[in-house]
Amino acid sequence: METNTPQNLSLSFYRMAMGLLLTLIAVRYFYNGWIDELFIAPSYHFHYFGLSWWKPLPPFGMYGVFFSLILFGIFFALNIFPKISAWTLLVGFTYIEFLDKATYLNHYYLITLVLFLFALFPTKSLTDKRVLNVFRLQIALVYIFAGVAKFNYEWVVLGQPLAIWFKDIFTALSIPQDYQVPLARAIGVFTGIFELSLPFFLSRPTTRFGAYMVALVFHISTYFCFNIGVFPLIMMISATLFFDPKWPSILGSKFCNFFLNNPHIKSLRIKPALYTSILIPFFSFQIFLATRHFFIDGQLFWHERGFNFSWHVMAVEKAGYLRYLIKTPGLEPKWVYPSDTLSDLQSKMIGMRPDMIIQFAHHIADVHPKGTQVFAESFISINGRPAERYFDLNANLLERPVPW
pLDDT values of the chain reduced to their tens digit, one per residue, 404 residues: 444 344 578 898 999 999 999 999 999 999 999 999 999 999 999 999 889 899 999 999 999 999 999 999 999 999 899 899 999 999 999 999 999 999 999 999 999 999 999 998 866 656 677 889 999 999 999 999 999 999 999 999 999 999 999 998 888 888 888 889 999 999 999 999 999 999 999 999 999 999 999 999 999 988 888 878 899 999 999 999 999 888 787 776 666 665 565 444 444 555 667 667 889 999 999 999 999 999 998 899 999 999 999 999 888 999 999 999 999 998 999 999 999 999 999 999 999 999 999 999 999 999 999 999 999 999 999 999 999 999 999 999 999 877 76
Torsion of CA 29, 34, 40, 41, to 10 degrees: 170
Report the pLDDT value the prediction gives residue 123, as an integer from 0 to 100.
66
Report the pLDDT value the prediction gives residue 269, as an integer from 0 to 100.
57
50 domain-assigned: yes
Examine the domain organization and report whether 327 and 287 are in the same domain. Answer: no
- CA proximity to 96, closest of 110, 85, 108: 108
Examine the domain organization and report whether 322 and 252 are in the same domain. Answer: no
Examine the domain organization and report whether 137 and 91 are in the same domain. Answer: yes
d(C-alpha 214, C-alpha 232), whole Å: 13
256 domain-assigned: yes
The pTM (predicted TM-score) of the whole model is: 0.91
307 domain-assigned: no
SS3 212: helix
Report the pLDDT value the prediction gives residue 366, as an integer from 0 to 100.
92
d(C-alpha 338, C-alpha 358), whole Å: 12
Report the pLDDT value the prediction gives residue 6, as an integer from 0 to 100.
45
Of 295, 328, 349, which one is at a domain's C-terminal end?
A: 295
d(C-alpha 220, C-alpha 233), whole Å: 8
Helices (H), 153-230: 153-156, 162-165, 167-172, 177-203, 205-225
- CA proximity to 8, closest of 148, 171, 129: 129
Residues forming a β-bridge with 324: 336, 376
Residue 254 CB neighbours (<10 A): 8
Examine the domain organization and report whether 204 and 344 are in the same domain. Answer: no
d(C-alpha 329, C-alpha 26), whole Å: 48
| The one-letter amino acid at 339 | S
376 domain-assigned: yes
CB 90 within 8 Å of CB 112: yes
CB 202 within 8 Å of CB 242: yes
Of 295, 326, 350, which one is at a domain's C-terminal end?
A: 295
Cβ-based burial of 52 (10 A; exposed 0-12, middle 13-18, buried ≥19)? exposed
Cβ-based burial of 247 (10 A; exposed 0-12, middle 13-18, buried ≥19)? middle
75 domain-assigned: yes
284 domain-assigned: yes
d(C-alpha 207, C-alpha 50), whole Å: 46
Examine the domain organization and report whether 288 and 384 are in the same domain. Answer: no
Distance spanning both ends of the chain, measured CA to CA: 44
Examine the domain organization and report whether 364 and 287 are in the same domain. Answer: no
Of 261, 295, 329, which one is at a domain's C-terminal end?
A: 295
291 domain-assigned: yes
308 domain-assigned: no
Examine the domain organization and report whether 291 and 321 are in the same domain. Answer: no
SS3 326: strand
Examine the domain organization and report whether 327 and 284 are in the same domain. Answer: no
Examine the domain organization and report whether 143 and 223 are in the same domain. Answer: yes
- CA proximity to 166, closest of 189, 187, 141: 187
Domain count of the chain?
2
Rg of the chain (C-alpha set): 24
What range defines the domain where residue 158 resides? 2-295
Examine the domain organization and report whether 150 and 288 are in the same domain. Answer: yes
Q: Checking phi first, is residue 306 left (phi over 0); if not, alpha (psi -120 to 50) or beta?
A: left
d(C-alpha 326, C-alpha 43), whole Å: 20
Examine the domain organization and report whether 291 and 324 are in the same domain. Answer: no
d(C-alpha 331, C-alpha 368), whole Å: 11
Examine the domain organization and report whether 228 and 358 are in the same domain. Answer: no
Q: Checking phi first, is residue 85 left (phi over 0); if not, alpha (psi -120 to 50) or beta?
A: alpha
